Structure 1
Amino acid sequence: MADVLIVGAGPTGLTLACDLARRGVTVRIVDKSPGYPRSSRAKGPNPRSLEVMEDLGVLDAVLAASSAPLPMRKYRDGVPVADADPYADSSPTPDAPYDRGRLIAQWRLEEILRDRLAGYGVSVETGTEVVGLTEDGTSVTAALADGSTAGARYVVGCDGAHSRVRKLLGIPFRGETDEEQVMVCGDVEITPGVLDRGIWHQWFDGGGGVMLCPVPGTRAGWWFQSGPERDGDGRPLAPSLEGFRRLFARHTRLPAGHLTGATLLSTYRVNVRMADRYRVGRVLLAGDAAHVHAIAGGLGMNTGIQDAFNLGWKLAQVLKKRAGTELLDTYEEERLPLAAWTLDLTSERLRATLEAIREPGGGLDTAITPSTTGLDRGYRWSSLARPGGDGDVRSGDRAPDAPCTEASTGAPTRLFRVFAGPHITVLGFGAGTDRALREAVAAHGDAVRARRVYHAAAPEPGTAAVVAGALHDRQGLAHAAYGIGGDTVVVVRPDNHVGLIAGADDHAAVRRYLDVLDGVREQDPMSGAGMVDGTRKG
C-alpha cells in the first residue's frame, strides 16, 4: 500500500509527487490519459513557482528549456501600433532572485518533473482511471476503471477542473461559467521567418483578435489564442485548422497558408469556481480540482504548484508521525483563502484587459501586476503563524532570500540554498541565539537545519559555529530582509514561509513552535507512545 495515491499527473500532481518522494514517502501517481499529453496550455511558472522549482532541484532544467517573457507587440487593423514590455522596470533583488516568470510548454515542464520523479524510482501510471473511493478510517481504497483497486493511506485529487475525485467526495464546485467569454486555443505552426519569434504578437480590432506567442524550444511552434468564429445565430464554432487559418488571415492580414498546422485545439470559457472544502477525511484536493479562474495573469498552473508545495511537507510529517493530523487542517486554512483571492484578482484583471483592448495599443500586458508574481502572498492569518517581528516580514510571509558567504570558507551562498530540501530551517541572528540553535538540533535532529548568521564579523576558523555551517551576512542583506534589529531567531517552514520570529531569549516559544511542525517522534517501541524531547506523549 502506498502512503499517498495522487490522481492526476499534471504540474500540480507531479510537484506534489516530487516533494513527497524526496521526503521518503511512498507515492503512486496515476493519470487516466493513455499517454503523456503534448499540451502547452499553461505558458510557464511565475516567480514564486520558480522558487519552488529551485527547491525541488529542477530549476536549471526549467531555465534551459524555457525563455524569458517576451515583449508584446499590439496591432490594429494589421498595423503595429505599440510595443510593451511589462517587465522593463523590474529586476531581481537580493530578497527575490526571480522578478519574472518563464515561458515553457506545459508538456516540457511535465517532462522535467517526471524525470525528477523517476530519480526517486517513481513513474506515472498512464491509462489508469479512478472511479470510486472508499475510506475505512486508516486508509483509502480507490476503485480503478479496469476493475482493480489501489490502496493508500491518503489520496490527493490533482485531476483538473472536471475532477472525478472531487465529484466522488460530493464537494460542490461553486461559481459560474460565462458562456459569452469564449476563446479558441491551440498549438500552431507558422512558416519560419513570417513572424519575429522574439515578440508576443497581439492583433485586436472590432471583430475580435488573435494572439500568437512562440513556444520555446521549437522552430515553428506558436501558442494560438483567438476569439472564435461564430455561426449565423452567433454561436461559437468548434476550433479547426481551417478555422484557425481564416482567423489568422482575417486579423493578421497575412496569407492563411502561412499557418501550416494546428494541434491540441480547444475551446476555453471563462470559468470561475472554487471547492467548498479541500479535504474530506483522508482525501484532499489540489490545483484545478479545487479552483478554476479566469486565464488573465497566468495563475492557474502556478496556484496548483503552490498548493502542492504547501501540502507536501504537511502530509509527510503526518505520515511519519512527526505531527498530528491537525496539521493537514492548515492546508485548507491557508490555501482556500488564497484561491478566493486569486479568483477575484484574475476576474478583475480580465475585465481590465477586455477594456484595454478596445483601444489601439491595449493588450495582455494589462493583466500583469506585481501580485501575479506570487511573491507577495503569505499566510499571516494561519494558525501556524505566530506574533513577532517588527519589520515588513511577519510570520506566515514568504521567506526572503539573501546572499551570504559560508563562514568557514568564504564561498558565496544564499539563504535559498540553506532552505532547499525537506527540512525546517532555524536561523540565529546574533550570538545570543546559540542556545536556541543547539536545542533545535538536539531535539529535532535532521528534521532541522540550524544556521547562525553573523553580520559585523565572521567567527574565527575552527569555532563550533563555523563547523555547524554558519553564514556571514557580510552586506547585511539577510538582516535587512528579515528586519533584524537585535539577537533574533527565525524559524522557516519546509515550504519556505516564515513560521516564527522570536527574541533570542524566548527559548520556550522556539521549542513550542518547532514541536508544532515536528513534534511527535516515531513510536517508542518500549511503550507504544510517542516521544518528544524525552517527554512521553500518549
Structure 2
Amino acid sequence: MTAQVADTGVSAGRNADVDVDVLIVGAGPAGLALGVDLARRGVDALVVERADGLFPGSRGKGIQPRTMEVFDDLGVLDAIRAAGGPYPAGMIWQDGKRQGEHRMFDPAEASDDSPYAEPLMVPQWRTQEILFARLVELGGSVAFGRELLAVTQDRDGVTAEFASGAPVRARYLVGADGGRSTVRRALGIAMTGETVDPHPALVADVRVTGLDRDHWHVFPPRDGDDGFLAICPLAGTEDFQLAARFPEGTDLDLSLEGVRKVVAARSHLAPEAVTEVRWASDFRPRAALADRFRAGRVFLSGDAAHIHSPAGGQGLNTSVQDAYNLGWKLGSVLRGGAPEALLDSYEEERRPVAARMLGLSTAIHRGEARRSVRTTGQLGLGYRDSPLSADLREGLPKDALRAGDRAPDGSLPDGTRLFGAFRGPHWTLVAAGPETQAPALPVPTARIPAHESYGTGLFLIRPDGYVGWAGGTASGLREYATRLGVLGQALSQDLPQDLA
C-alpha cells in the first residue's frame, strides 16, 4: 500500500493528547542514533521499524573519525571500538599470485585536537545492535513489524497509521526509513540525483576459506572480463564482505551457488571455498538528494534524505550526523524552552553537508578523488553560514577556529580533556587564555590556557560539538542567547547585566 499524507489545517490545541513526543520511522543508523540522543535528553520517543528485526547486512561498514566523536558523546564508542578494527591493507591478486599491497586510503595520525585519526571498520548490523542496546539501556524502545501506511499532520502534531496496530500520535515525526522512504513519498518530496555507475554490483556477507584475514583481497578484471571481485574481512567477525561488479543489464544470482560461480570465475579459489552466504544484495550505485528535509512537523534523516555510493564511506556517517544535529534541536524545543523556529536550522545546516558528501562519494567512486581522512573523515565539515553561528571577533587569521566549526578536543590543566567536558546533552562554555573572563552561566565551563586550536577568547559550544558563538569578551552573549533561546530560561535569568 502507498502511504498518504495530509495537512488538515485544523489545530488540535497546544495540549492535544499525544502518545509520544517524537515518532521515528526506521531503525537504521539514523533512527537508532536519534532515538539514543532523544532518550538521554528525556524526550519521549518511539522508534518503529517495518521489518521484524534489525538490518542483517554489513553494508555501511566504515565509521569515520567525526562519527567516532559522536559515538563517544552518545556513550557507545567503547562498544563500537571493541566490535571493530582498523581497515586492512589491500592485496592485489593476479592469476592466483599476490602482486603486492596497497593502502586503501592515505594514513593519518591522531593529534591533541583530533583523537580519532583513521576510520574504523564495523559491519553495519553490529553498529545497529550497539545503538539498539544503548537505546534500551536509556529506556527507549523499537516497535518492530510496524509498516507505515499514512501520515496526517496538523498544527499541533502528526498521526501515523500502520498496517497493523493502533495509530500513533506524536508532536513530531522523523522519517529515517531508508532510500525508498515511505515517509518521503508520503510527503511528496522529490529526490534529485543520478546513476553513479550503470553496472550492477553484488554485495554479500560470506564465509570463505583459503584467504587470510589480514588483507582486503582484490581481484582485478581478467582479459575479456567486465568486472572485478573484492573480498574484505569484516573486523570482529568471521565473515568477509564480497563485492563484485557486472556488465550493465546483468541479472544477479544472490544464491550460494551464484556467489560460488562468481568467486570461482574471478579468483583462484574453488567454488566450495565459499561455505556460506549470510546476506546478499543487488546494489545499483546511485546518488540522490531530497529537495527538502522538512515538511511541517515531519523531518527526513539519513538515506531517506540522501542516497550515496558506498565509496568513501559517507552514507552511514552522514546519516548518524543528521540525527546528532536534529536530536539536540528537538530536545531544546521539547524540553529546553527553545523556539520552534530553531528546527528550521536542521535543513539549513544538513542539506548542504549532504550535498557535499554526495559529490565526494561520487567522485571517489569514479576515481576522481582519493580517500583520505582530510576528505572523508568529516572533521572539517561545519556550519559557518548557519544562522546559529555568531562570531564577534575581527581580524582573525585565515586558519582560525570560527563559529560554526567543529570544536576541537584538547588537554585541560587538570589532566582531563575538552571532549570530556562536552560529553552530554548540554552546551559548554570554553574560556581560552589567562586574561579571558568567563561569566557565570548555567552551563559547564572549561577554562584553558591559550590554546593552539582555540587561541584566546570565549567559545559557546553547541550540544553537537560545534562552536555556536565566539567572542573576545562576553559582550553580545546575552543577545545570542536571547535570539537563539536554546540555553533555556535559566540563562536569560542568571546572565550578569554587564554582558548585555
TM-score with structure 2 length normalisation? Answer: 0.89
Say whether residues 1:188 and 2:206 are aligned partners. Answer: yes
Offset at residue 323 of structure 1 (A): 1.3
1:151 and 1:256 map into 2 onto residues whose CA distance is: 53
Cα deviation for residue 19 of structure 1 reads: 0.6
Among 385, 399, 402, the alignment partner of 1:394 is 402
* 1:377 corresponds to which of 381, 399, 403: 381
Cα distance 1:534–1:205, how it changes in 2: closer, same or farther (>3 A)?
closer
* Contact kept in structure 2, 1:68 and 1:101, CA below 8 Å: yes
- Amino acid corresponding to residue 482 of structure 1 in structure 2: Y
Note the residue ranges of structure 2 that are not aligned, 5 or more in a row: 1-18, 496-500
Deviates more, 1:102-111 or 1:173-182: 173-182
Superposition pairs for residues 469-480 of structure 1, below 5 Å?
479-480=451-452
Aligned ranges 1:263-412 → 2 under 5 Å:
263-352=278-367, 366-368=370-372, 370-389=374-393, 390-391=396-397, 392=399, 393-406=401-414, 412=415
CA distance in 1 between counterparts of 2:40 and 2:373 reads 34
CA contact (8 A) 1:117 1:123 kept: yes
The question of 1:235 aligning with 2:250 is answered: yes
2:482 and 2:79 map into 1 onto residues whose CA distance is 36
Deviations 1:126-151 (A, max 9, x none): 10121111112111110111152001
Aligned residue pair count:
470
Q: Aligned equivalents of 1:384 and 1:338: distance in 2?
A: 15
- CA-to-aligned-CA distance 1:309-354 (integer Å, 9 cap, x gap): 111001111112521111111110011011111111111111117x
Q: Deviations over 1:376-400 (max 9, x none)?
A: 1111111111234524211111111
Distance in 1 between the 2:48 and 2:316 partners? Answer: 19
**Alpha-carbon distance in 2 for matches of 1:108, 1:424:** 30
Q: 2:453 aligns with which of 458, 478, 481?
A: 481
2:103 maps to what in 1? 85
In structure 1, the residue matched to 2:498 is: none
* Matching residue of 1:255: 270
CA contact under 8 A between 1:77 and 1:251: conserved in structure 2? no
Matched, 1:511 2:478: yes
8 Å Cα contact 2:229-2:242 kept in structure 1? yes
Counterpart for residue 420 of structure 2: 417
Task: Supply the distance in 1 between the matched residues of 2:213 and 2:475 (Cα, whole angstroms).
Answer: 58
How far apart are the structure 2 equivalents of 1:78 and 1:236? 27
Q: Which deviates more from structure 2 when the two are superposed, residues 277-286 or residues 391-400? A: 391-400
Answering whether residue 62 of structure 2 is matched by residue 36 of structure 1, we say no
Gaps of 5+ in 1: 354-364, 407-411, 456-475, 523-529
2:230 is matched with which residue: 208, 211, 220? 211
Corresponding residue to 1:427 among 423, 427, 430: 430
Q: What fraction of aligned residue pairs are identical, expressed as a percent?
A: 41
TM-score normalised per structure 1: 0.83
Distance 1:229 1:249 in 2: 17
Root-mean-square deviation (CA, aligned residues, Å) is: 2.1
Provide the rounded CA distance (Å) in 1 between the counterparts of 2:25 and 2:266. Answer: 41
Deviates more, 1:208-217 or 1:281-290: 208-217
C-alpha distance in structure 2 between counterparts of 1:254 and 1:86, whole Å:
23
Change in 2 beyond 3 A, CA 1:298/1:157: same
SS of the counterpart of 1:134?
strand
Does residue 452 (structure 1) correspond to residue 441 (structure 2)? The answer is: no
- Partner amino acid, structure 1, of 2:445: A
Deviations, residues 290-321 of structure 1 (Å, cap 9, x unaligned): 00022210111000001111110011111125
